[in-house]
């Protein structure tokens, strides 16, 4: 599994967990989890990989991407 695919796999697993909890907050919960538990390099690499495209992402991950991007932009 390529590194980009591994990060997508991990994000999809997180999304599946939070989506199973129900409610409308799954995307923000995914973004929050990634912000708390992934190191900055992992977050940067994941966002770069999603920008390149070609990854299969859970819809909740796709919904979390703008939140992750906004947080990354605020850090710069």
pLDDT at 15: 98
pLDDT at position 74 is: 84
51, 6 contact by CB (below 8 A): no
Sequential DSSP letters for 36-58? HHS-HHHHHHHHHHHHH------
pTM of the model: 0.91
Domain positions in the chain are: 3-75
Dihedral class, residue 55 (left if φ above 0, else alpha if ψ from -120 to 50, else beta): beta
pLDDT, one tens digit for every residue, the chain (76 residues): 999 999 999 999 999 999 998 878 999 999 999 999 999 999 999 999 999 999 999 999 999 999 999 988 887 6
pLDDT at 76: 64
Interatomic CA distance for residues 20 and 64, integer angstroms:
16
| pLDDT value, residue 70 | 94
Of 42, 12, 54, 47, whose CA–CA distance to 30 is shortest?
Answer: 12
């Amino acid at each position: 599994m390529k590194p980009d695919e591994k990060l997508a796999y991990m994000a999809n697993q997180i999304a599946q967990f939070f989506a199973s909890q129900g409610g409308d907050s799954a995307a923000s919960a995914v973004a929050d989890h990634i912000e708390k538990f992934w190191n900055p390099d992992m977050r940067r690499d994941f966002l770069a990989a999603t920008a390149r495209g070609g990854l299969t992402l859970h819809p909740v991950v796709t919904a979390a991407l703008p939140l992750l991007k906004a947080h990354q932009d605020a850090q710069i």
